[in-house]
C-alpha cells in the first residue's frame, strides 16, 4: 500500500491545526496512515493533533506484527487510540492553556486484503473503486444524528450551522470511544482519509473524479485542494490518499 498526503491552512484560519502522518516502513510491513483535526483554541488544537498522530503511530509500531488478522489489527488500533487519548490528556494536565484541547482522528492500517480503519469524530475515510466512492466511517457529530433521524438530508448536513459540533473527540473524553471497520480492497483501489475541511467544500463525486481522472495521486490531492479553495476553504484542509498495489 502506497500513500500520499497534503495539508493546507485554507483561506480563513490563522493556523493549521490539522496533522497527518504516513508510515510505509513499519517493521511489521504494514502501512499506517492517520489524519487528525485539532480543536481547542490558541496552539491547543495544533498540539493535540500532532500528539495524536505521533502517539497513535508510535504505539502501533510497538504492537503490530506481520501475522495479525484484520480483527487483531482493529483491536490494536483501538488500543493505540486510547494511548493517544491519554497522551493528549496528560499534556493538557501539565498546561492550563491546553486544558480544552482535543482532536478528531481517522486512521488506516493496511493488510494483504485491504485496510482496517479507525475513527473518532468527524474526519472521514472513503473507499474509492474504479466506478464508485463509498464513505466507510460514520461521523460522531450532531448533524450525523440529525441525518440518521431523518431531520435533515446528507446534503443539508454539509451546510448546517452546527456541522462542526462533534460528539466524540480525543482529549476531552477520558474514555474516547472509536469505531473500527475492515475494508477489503482490490489492486488499484484507493482509500481517502480527510478532515471536514475537505468534506465541507468538495463533494463525493468531485473526490471520485479527481482520483480516477489523474494517474498521479499528488495531482489528485492538489486538485481537490484547489476545489476546496475555490469554495472558500474556510477551514484547514487535509487529505491522505492510499492506493493498494
pLDDT at residue 157, rounded to an integer: 84
pLDDT at residue 163, rounded to an integer: 79
The model's pLDDT over 88-111, given as tens digits with 9 standing for 90+, comes to: 999 999 998 898 899 999 999 999
pLDDT at residue 156, rounded to an integer: 85
The model's pLDDT over 138-167, given as tens digits with 9 standing for 90+, comes to: 999 999 899 899 998 888 887 888 877 899
The model's pLDDT over 111-129, given as tens digits with 9 standing for 90+, comes to: 999 999 999 999 999 999 9
Q: With contact defined as beta carbons under 8 Å apart, do 185 and 244 qualify?
A: yes
Query: Residue ranges of the domains in the chain?
Result: 2-243
Q: Which stretches of the chain score pLDDT less than 70? A: 41-43
Order of strands, edge to edge, in the sheet holding 237-243? 2-8, 237-243, 190-194, 124-128, 133-135
Given CATH 2.40.50.100, say whether it is the number of domain 2-243.
Answer: no
pLDDT at residue 41, rounded to an integer: 66
pLDDT at residue 164, rounded to an integer: 79
Calculate the dihedral angle through the C-alpha atoms of 136, 138, 144, 148, rounding to the nearest 10 degrees.
Answer: 80
- Mean of pLDDT over the chain: 95
Q: With contact defined as beta carbons under 8 Å apart, do 53 and 20 qualify?
A: yes
pTM: 0.96
The H or E element containing residue 22 is strand 18-23
Amino acid at each position: 500500500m502506497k500513500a500520499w498526503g497534503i495539508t493546507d491552512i485554507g483561506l480563513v484560519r490563522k493556523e493549521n491545526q490539522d496533522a497527518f502522518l504516513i508510515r510505509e516502513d513499519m517493521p511489521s510491513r504494514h502501512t499506517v496512515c492517520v489524519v487528525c483535526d485539532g480543536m481547542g483554541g490558541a496552539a491547543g488544537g495544533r498540539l493535540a493533533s500532532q500528539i495524536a498522530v505521533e502517539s497513535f503511530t508510535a504505539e502501533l509500531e510497538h504492537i503490530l506484527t506481520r501475522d495479525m488478522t484484520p480483527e487483531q489489527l482493529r483491536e490494536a488500533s483501538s488500543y493505540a487510540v486510547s494511548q493517544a487519548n491519554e497522551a493528549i490528556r496528560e499534556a493538557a494536565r501539565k498546561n492550563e492553556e491546553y486544558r480544552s484541547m482535543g482532536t478528531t482522528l481517522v486512521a488506516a492500517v493496511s493488510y494483504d486484503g485491504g485496510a482496517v480503519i479507525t475513527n473518532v469524530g468527524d474526519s472521514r475515510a472513503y473507499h474509492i473503486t474504479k466506478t464508485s466512492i463509498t464513505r466507510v466511517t460514520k461521523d460522531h457529530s450532531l448533524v450525523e444524528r440529525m441525518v440518521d433521524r431523518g431531520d435533515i438530508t446528507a446534503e443539508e448536513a454539509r451546510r448546517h450551522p452546527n456541522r462542526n459540533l462533534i460528539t466524540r473527540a480525543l482529549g476531552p473524553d477520558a474514555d474516547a470511544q472509536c469505531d473500527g471497520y475492515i475494508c477489503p480492497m482490490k489492486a488499484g483501489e484507493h482509500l481517502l482519509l480527510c478532515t471536514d475541511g475537505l468534506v465541507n467544500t468538495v463533494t463525493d463525486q468531485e473526490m471520485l473524479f479527481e482520483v480516477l481522472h489523474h494517474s498521479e495521486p499528488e495531482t489528485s490531492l492538489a486538485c481537490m485542494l484547489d476545489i476546496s479553495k475555490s469554495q472558500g476553504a474556510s477551514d484547514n484542509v487535509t487529505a491522505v490518499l492510499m492506493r493498494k498495489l
